[in-house]
Amino acid sequence: MAYTTGVIFFALALLISVSLHEFGHLLTAKAFKIKATRYFVGFGPTIWSFQKGETEYGLKGIPLGGFVKIVGMTPEDEEEEALSESDKKRVFWRKPLWQRTIVLAAGSITHFILAFVILWTIVSFIGTPNPAAAQSYQESQDTATVGVSECLYPADADADYECTADDDSNPAYEAGMRDGDRIVSVGGESVGDWDGLLTAVTALEPEEPVDVVVERDGADVDLTVTPYTAKVEYADGKTEEVAKLGVTPYEDPDIPETVTSGPIQGIGDTATYTGDMFKNTFIALGQLPSKIPDLWNAIFGGERGDDTPVSVVGASRIGGELAERGLWVNFFMLLVVLNYFIGVFNLLPLLPLDGGHIAIAWFEKVRSWFAAKRGKPDPGRVDYYKLMPLTYVVLVVLGGFMLLTITADIVNPIRIFQ
């Protein structure tokens, strides 16, 4: 039930995000007295609507986005509409370039504002991962410093789990190993880091006692540990019984896992996080073409990489998994990342994206400026009809990519919890 609720909630959050994107276009258009006749959430048949002023607002039957009808986006659009003389002055393409740029960019800016507010709330009041805790955890791996619980935790145990009489005892704890011990050797094999420890333990026989040397308070301590038998399931479905000691990388209890910044410092910290997310977004956009073969292979039985793109379907499924486990910070962080990504993607200079319209508007301005400098007549507006073939190519590519990701998310979804 929690999973289904999370999926629905995440999909609804994305729908609201896209609806606000379109509302950003509408709000700025009205601010500049540009005529806007319709604003709808969804597509397809109209379920409900009302008229306020010159604009019809409503809800349609297919909740996969939304749209706003701004009159005269191009000269060609104006020719197709019967407008009064007063309305002809209010069409989009006749407005100053700076106003058109703001209206076109308003959708992406809305995504950025929404993501920033959510992220600021998390950073300021809820908490984000503590870099000091991450560094301490990494140092534990680099030195094979271990954490040892009194029992073997169940697979679904959370961070606050306490041992009960029903839990199996931990052989490492029973042998005398304690939190903060650094494992020096296992069965006579020297251990330098976590990878070395895994290699040494993997070679052991389950249920066979083994000599383990740990460093504690600057002195070596000799212990005898009896590894327990653990069943490991691999991605291909095969299982194997292996030996395990019952240790994990040490986490310093004095270092909190999360930190909050407060509302004032949170603004700067959120800006820093935002800069990192923008950087990662551009990296991800550059890598998109190289991920297409991975998506194709995943559809036909190949392993689905965690770094492959996801559709609304895949993102909602991940959101459901996070909600199911009560990981609401991660849930909203995923929403933040998607809003930044959608905002940046929408500004790419490709038709029919908003960035494509912005690029054409500025191209017209620059072309007119060069013509005036050379004493040539103004070449006027770009003929959008001539750009239709290129627009169709972009639509086919984007549509094919969307279909590919949706299919992969249905037949071979990314699962963050196995």
- Identify the bridge partners of residue 291 per DSSP, sorted by sequence position: none
Domain annotation for the chain: domains and CATH numbers: 2-35+71-129+260-411 (no CATH), 132-249 (2.30.42.10)
| pLDDT above 90: residue 109 | yes
Q: List, as one string, the DSSP characters of 340-361.
A: HHHHHHHTSS-TTSHHHHHHHH
Mean pLDDT of 75-101: 83
pLDDT score at 260: 92
| pLDDT above 80: residue 283 | yes
| Catalytic position from the list 22, 215, 233, 251 | 22
Give the residue from 415, 359, 409 showing the smallest Cα distance to 384: 359
The kind and range of the H/E element at 241 are: strand 239-244
Mean pLDDT of 345-349: 95
- Where do we find the tokens 């069965």? 187
pLDDT score at 79: 64
pLDDT score at 303: 84
pLDDT score at 215: 95
pLDDT score at 231: 81
| pLDDT above 80: residue 78 | no
User: Whole-structure pTM over 0.75, yes or no?
Assistant: yes
What is the arrangement of strands in the sheet containing 189-190, beginning at the earlier edge strand? Answer: 189-190, 182-186, 210-216, 219-225
CB 25 within 8 A of CB 35: no
| pLDDT above 90: residue 17 | yes
pLDDT score at 235: 56
pLDDT score at 174: 94
Mean pLDDT of 239-258: 89
Mean pLDDT of 144-169: 83
Mean pLDDT of 320-336: 91
Percent of the chain scored above 70 by pLDDT?
96
CB 270 within 8 A of CB 374: no
Q: What is the mean pLDDT of the chain?
A: 90
pLDDT score at 306: 82
- Neighbouring residues of 40: CB distance < 8 A, sequence distance ≥ 6: 46, 49, 56, 57, 58, 59, 60, 66, 67, 68
CA 226 remoteness from chain centre: 43
Q: What is the DSSP letter of 145?
A: B
Mean pLDDT of 200-212: 92
Residue 81: active-site member: no
How does residue 309 score in pLDDT terms, banded at 50, 70 and 90? Answer: very high
Beta-strand pair 228-233/55-70: unpaired
pLDDT (tens digit per residue) in 353-409: 999 999 999 999 999 999 999 989 988 888 888 889 999 999 999 999 999 999 999
Mean pLDDT of 98-103: 97
pLDDT (tens digit per residue) in 137-151: 999 999 999 999 999
Give the residue from 278, 211, 203 showing the smallest Cα distance to 244: 203
pLDDT score at 418: 56
| pLDDT above 60: residue 204 | yes
Mean pLDDT of 55-61: 94
pLDDT score at 380: 86
